[in-house]
Structure 1
Amino acid sequence: MKTILTTLAITLLFSCQNMAQVSKEQQAVINAKPIEVPLKNGKAKAYFASGCFWCVEAIYESVKGVDEVISGYSGGFTDNPTYDLSNTGRTGHAEAVEVIYDPNVVSFATLVDVYFASQNPTQVNGQGPDRGSQYRSIIFYQNDTQKKIIEEKKSALAKQLDAEIAAEVYPFQKFWVAEDYHQNYERLHPNNGYIRNVSIPRLKRFQAKMPDVLKDNSH
């Protein structure tokens, strides 16, 4: 009986801790109505969080149909987040990227495939050595069609791996552009230790998995 009560107490403790991780402010973000970003000059925008934005920016930059990728912050409740603030884990934001792409060349569904192929989909609150809520995986949807695509692909991957997929699914609200020195970081700092040991190997693993979606100069 004591063992049962102890197990129950531990279960309740972890349940309470899990519930406590989502503040009222964060829950409001999760429950919000998505904001749809209109096409501009025929180009669409999509938003993803998957660990360090230096890595994710370089991955999406290598995909055919992607014009530009911008590093920033999204998914939280704090206005004007900065890198230092984000690193406290108290803004609700994750490091994210804005992917500007031509929907006539690459579909949103393919961008989601790129997302899952370029990460460890079961790692919670981080990717590789980067750990914390600011590095958690989030896929943002702007309408019901995108939400359905995300949920179907996430469910299929969970069955394939027989594991829980860590990526959260959020309605897109706002993207905050990161400081200038973060933009194009992998391309501009190829000899940086983190870039050589983490970012480039991650990029190459993705490129080996999905060679058909790469720009000609990314092979």
Structure 2
Amino acid sequence: MKKIIPLLLITLLFNCKNEAQNNNGLQTVENAEPVEVPLKNGKARAYFASGCFWCVEAIYESVKGVEESISGYSGGHTKNPTYEANNTGRTGHAESVEIIYDPKVVSFETLVDVYFASQNVTQVNGQGNDRGSQYRSIIFYQNEEQKQIILKKKEALAKKLNTEIAAEVYPFQKFWVAEDYHQDYEKLHPNNSYIQNVSIPRLNRFKSKMPEVLKDNMH
């Protein structure tokens, strides 16, 4: 994912807010009515974007009550996004995860806490060296209750840290599942250099912050 991009291209594409974030189509997404995903077999779904989805997938799968974390794309204005198209930063989508969870075990509120505890909350358009609108932080809400939970936690964190929180808050519209080779990437490729140097350290930082929410049998 993690390609070295020429400085000129970074400047053109990602200067503060790039073309994707200023696109009229994206404004339509931001102002849309949220789509609520119904429970299925007693399981709920939540959607988050926070940098590389390899990292975020592994973080959420470490949390009690989370059955599965799926990598994909959301938040944009184009249909059927691919990894290659998304990497241009022009689709409006961000690398995202779909969290399938048991609401009797873990609440949406706790999942939001996990979100903020597992990233650099002040970094705009990326996490670490993964930069661009496709790596920006977004929390998706499906109803007014979720929206208020997110906004209150974001406001409280901003006051606590005395800084602006980068995460955007979007109404959920649609989640596009990423290509098969992105799924369970951290588990399947533990010796990959990116996993070793970025994903695992990020996971470990999160684990140290919220040990009370971790599953007993961590991989």
- The corresponding residue for 1:140 is 140
Report 1:122-201 matches (<5 A).
Answer: 122-201=122-201
Report 1:47-196 matches (<5 A).
Answer: 47-196=47-196
Count of residues paired in the alignment: 203
Distance 1:169 1:204 in 2: 26
Gaps spanning 5+ residues in structure 2: where?
1-15
Moved over 4 A (4+): 17-21
Gaps spanning 5+ residues in structure 1: where?
1-16
Distance 1:131 1:51 in 2: 8
The DSSP-based 3-state class of the residue aligned with 2:47 is strand
Length-normalised TM-score, structure 1: 0.91
Length-normalised TM-score, structure 2: 0.91
Does structure 1 retain, via aligned residues, the 8 Å contact 2:17–2:133? Answer: no
CA pair 131-19 structure 1, distance change in 2 beyond 3 A: closer
- The corresponding residue for 1:35 is 35
Shift of 1:129: 1.0
Distance 2:30 2:176 in 1: 17
The DSSP-based 3-state class of the residue aligned with 1:216 is coil
Distance 1:44 1:22 in 2: 32
Relative to total residues, which structure has the larger helix share, 1 or 2? 1
Q: Kindly, what percent of the aligned residue pairs are identical?
A: 78
Distance 2:49 2:200 in 1: 18
1:43-100 CA-partner distances (Å, limit 9, x unpaired): 0000000000000000000000000000000000110000000000000000000000
Shift of 1:218: 2.2
Shift of 1:18: 5.8
1:91-118 CA-partner distances (Å, limit 9, x unpaired): 0000000000000000000000000000
Does structure 1 retain, via aligned residues, the 8 Å contact 2:18–2:133? Answer: no
- The corresponding residue for 1:217 is 217
Whichever residue aligns with residue 146 of structure 1, its letter is Q
Whichever residue aligns with residue 111 of structure 2, its letter is L
1:133-179 CA-partner distances (Å, limit 9, x unpaired): 00000000000000000000000000000000000000000000000
